[in-house]
């Protein structure tokens, strides 16, 4: 683990450094998308600047920001480079679990490590099991990655994961495993252990630099106090949180679409024979395109902010009814934000003509990234879930702790 050489002592100091790194991320985002160059150094610089400490409570050395501040900063990161927000999703999800962890040794151990600069990655899903026809009726599918106890008492993890977003950038990985009794649980393992192999085989159309490929574990030891999220309380509201990270990412993409499309329009030296003027910046049809993009950006921002505030309110009250409301509002935001940003990513090309489809313009990455983010935790089901709640008062069930006891562990839903 690489710790910050000059750790920042205040949030204001950290934000100066974090935003400087955001600016550097933005400078090369389009070229990295074409070249496939992972932003390892810049991700490490964010960790050193205190980005990972944002939600760590002050008693453990963090900044303890509220959810609105966190998601505002995640949207800023996405505006600069949407891959980076996705890389950090597993880290902030684990931090949320730890904030509500009921075991004080587990909570203190890893929150302190995060405050010192540790980055956590994610390894939950196993699509190979579904391909093999092993999927279960509950929508989860079995876990073939297991944790076993050796005669000496050590716990070792072996198995193969996919969608391992952020794992190749991390110091530790939160993995979903099956124990000897078939129960599901989260464990934390070292990301750079010799038994961990990171395979750069993510072949999605978008979010290409998130390291969301295969991770292979071979007898990798579980960290001391590394069994996290064993109580329902530690997972409360997590299904909303993980989706809100995607939505913050989409908001950042929407902002980039507006900024970059304006730049494309200003650079045009001609329009079309059908245009009312050959001055692109005075063309009413092209100006209307920009206006429409701005409307969609603001729509996405407002929906995200509303859903984040509902989750914060649920954390404050602690009532299950409020967590249900937060989930419904997050699902509502998901439906609206995805529609708005994908539409903006398509309409942006109307402002620039055929030249905007060239790779060198990089405008296509926004649609590809938004489409990829919009495919997680499938939005196709959400309007029905929302309607069933509003009409019939059927409460959506959390994917994290449905049908389980207070002490049972649970794994993260595939690409939730």
pLDDT at 278: 93
CATH code of 20's domain: 1.10.540.10
* DSSP calls for 153-176: S-EEEEEEEB--TTGGG-SEEEEE
Query: Would residue 137 count as lying in a domain?
Result: yes
Q: Of 233, 291, 213, 229, which Cα lies nearest the Cα of 258?
A: 291
Boundary residue ending a domain (176, 209, 228): 228
Please report, for the chain, how many H helices and E strands are present, in that order: 13, 8
Instruction: Identify whether residues 104 and 149 lie together within a single domain.
Output: no
Instruction: Identify whether residues 105 and 129 lie together within a single domain.
Output: no
pLDDT at 409: 36
List per-residue pLDDT tens for the chain, 416 residues long.
Answer: 444 445 568 999 999 999 999 999 999 999 999 999 999 999 999 999 999 999 999 999 999 999 999 999 999 999 999 999 999 999 999 999 999 999 999 999 999 999 999 999 999 988 654 444 444 434 456 789 999 999 999 999 999 999 999 999 999 999 999 988 888 899 999 999 999 999 999 999 999 999 999 999 999 999 999 999 989 999 999 999 999 999 999 999 999 999 999 999 999 988 999 999 999 999 999 999 999 999 999 999 999 999 999 999 999 999 999 999 999 999 999 999 999 999 999 999 999 988 899 999 999 999 999 999 999 888 999 999 999 999 999 999 877 765 444 333 333 333 33
Query: Would residue 416 count as lying in a domain?
Result: no
Write the DSSP symbol of residue 126: -
Instruction: Identify whether residues 250 and 386 lie together within a single domain.
Output: yes
How many domains does the structure of the chain reveal?
3
Burial of residue 415 (CB within 10 Å: 0-12, 13-18, 19+) is: middle
Instruction: Identify whether residues 264 and 358 lie together within a single domain.
Output: yes
Query: Would residue 401 count as lying in a domain?
Result: no
**What are residue 125's DSSP bridge partners?**
162
Instruction: Identify whether residues 260 and 369 lie together within a single domain.
Output: yes
Query: Would residue 414 count as lying in a domain?
Result: no
How far apart are the C-alpha atoms of 4 and 8, rounded to whole Å?
9
Q: Is residue 278 helix, strand or coil? A: coil
CATH code of 189's domain: 2.40.110.10
How far apart are the C-alpha atoms of 230 and 408, rounded to whole Å?
6
Structure tokens at 309: 């505030």
How far apart are the C-alpha atoms of 24 and 51, rounded to whole Å?
15
pLDDT at 85: 98
Q: Please, are residues 351 and 264 in contact by the beta-carbon 8 Å criterion? A: yes
Query: Would residue 413 count as lying in a domain?
Result: no
Boundary residue ending a domain (167, 198, 228): 228
Q: Is residue 192 helix, strand or coil? A: coil
Structure tokens at 65: 């920001």
Q: Please, are residues 171 and 182 in contact by the beta-carbon 8 Å criterion? A: no
Q: Please, are residues 290 and 258 in contact by the beta-carbon 8 Å criterion? A: yes
Q: Is residue 120 helix, strand or coil? A: strand
Instruction: Identify whether residues 292 and 353 lie together within a single domain.
Output: yes
How far apart are the C-alpha atoms of 159 and 218, rounded to whole Å?
7
Query: Would residue 372 count as lying in a domain?
Result: yes
Burial of residue 406 (CB within 10 Å: 0-12, 13-18, 19+) is: exposed
Instruction: Identify whether residues 328 and 214 lie together within a single domain.
Output: no
Which range of residues forms the domain containing residue 200? 123-228
How far apart are the C-alpha atoms of 72 and 51, rounded to whole Å?
13
Instruction: Identify whether residues 388 and 241 lie together within a single domain.
Output: yes
Q: Around Cβ 322, how many Cβ atoms within 10 Å?
A: 17
Q: Please, are residues 210 and 252 in contact by the beta-carbon 8 Å criterion? A: no
Q: Around Cβ 8, how many Cβ atoms within 10 Å?
A: 18
CATH code of 300's domain: 1.20.140.10
Instruction: Identify whether residues 134 and 198 lie together within a single domain.
Output: yes
Instruction: Identify whether residues 244 and 383 lie together within a single domain.
Output: yes
Query: Would residue 1 count as lying in a domain?
Result: no
Q: Please, are residues 365 and 337 in contact by the beta-carbon 8 Å criterion? A: no
Instruction: Identify whether residues 67 and 130 lie together within a single domain.
Output: no
Boundary residue ending a domain (167, 195, 228): 228
Helices 11-27, 67-80: inter-axial angle, 10-degree rounding? 20
pLDDT at 377: 84
Instruction: Identify whether residues 260 and 363 lie together within a single domain.
Output: yes
Where b means 16+ CB within 10 Å and e means fewer, 297-306 reads: bebbbebbbe
Query: Would residue 59 count as lying in a domain?
Result: yes
């Amino acid at each position: 683990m690489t710790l910050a050489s000059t750790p920042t002592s205040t949030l204001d100091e950290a934000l100066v450094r974090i935003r400087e790194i955001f600016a550097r991320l933005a400078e090369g985002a389009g070229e990295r998308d074409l070249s496939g160059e992972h932003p390892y150094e810049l991700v490490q610089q964010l960790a050193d600047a205190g980005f990972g400490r944002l939600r760590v409570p002050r008693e453990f050395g963090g900044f303890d920001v509220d959810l609105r501040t966190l998601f505002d900063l995640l949207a800023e990161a996405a505006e600069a480079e949407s891959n980076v927000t996705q890389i950090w999703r597993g880290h902030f999800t684990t931090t949320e679990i730890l904030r509500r962890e009921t075991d004080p040794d587990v909570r203190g151990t890893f929150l302190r490590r995060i405050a010192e600069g540790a980055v956590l990655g994610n390894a939950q899903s196993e699509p190979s099991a579904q391909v093999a026809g092993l999927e279960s009726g509950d929508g989860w599918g079995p876990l073939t990655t297991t944790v076993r106890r050796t005669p000496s008492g050590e716990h070792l993890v072996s198995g193969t994961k996919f969608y391992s977003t952020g794992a190749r950038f991390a110091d530790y990985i939160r993995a979903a495993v099956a124990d000897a009794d078939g129960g599901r649980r989260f464990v934390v393992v070292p990301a750079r252990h010799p038994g961990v192999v990171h395979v750069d085989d993510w072949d999605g159309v978008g979010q290409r630099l998130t390291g969301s490929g295969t991770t292979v574990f071979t007898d990798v030891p579980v960290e001391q106090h590394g069994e996290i999220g064993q109580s329902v309380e530690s997972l409360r509201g997590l299904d909303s949180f993980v989706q809100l990270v995607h939505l913050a990412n989409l908001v950042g993409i929407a902002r980039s679409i507006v900024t970059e499309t304006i730049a494309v329009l200003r650079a045009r030296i001609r329009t079309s024979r059908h245009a009312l003027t050959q001055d692109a910046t005075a063309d009413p049809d092209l100006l209307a395109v920009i206006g429409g993009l701005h409307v969609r950006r603001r729509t996405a921002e407002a929906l995200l902010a509303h859903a984040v505030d509902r989750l914060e309110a649920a954390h404050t009250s602690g009532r299950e009814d409020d967590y249900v409301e937060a989930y419904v509002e997050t699902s509502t935001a998901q439906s609206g934000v995805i529609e708005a940003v994908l539409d903006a990513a398509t309409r942006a090309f109307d402002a620039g003509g055929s030249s905007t489809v060239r790779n060198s313009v990089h405008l296509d990455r926004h649609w590809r990234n938004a489409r990829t983010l919009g495919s997680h935790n499938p939005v196709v089901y959400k309007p029905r879930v929302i309607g069933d709640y509003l009409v019939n008062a059927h409460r959506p069930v959390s994917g994290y702790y449905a049908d389980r006891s207070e002490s049972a562990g649970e794994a993260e839903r595939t690409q939730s």
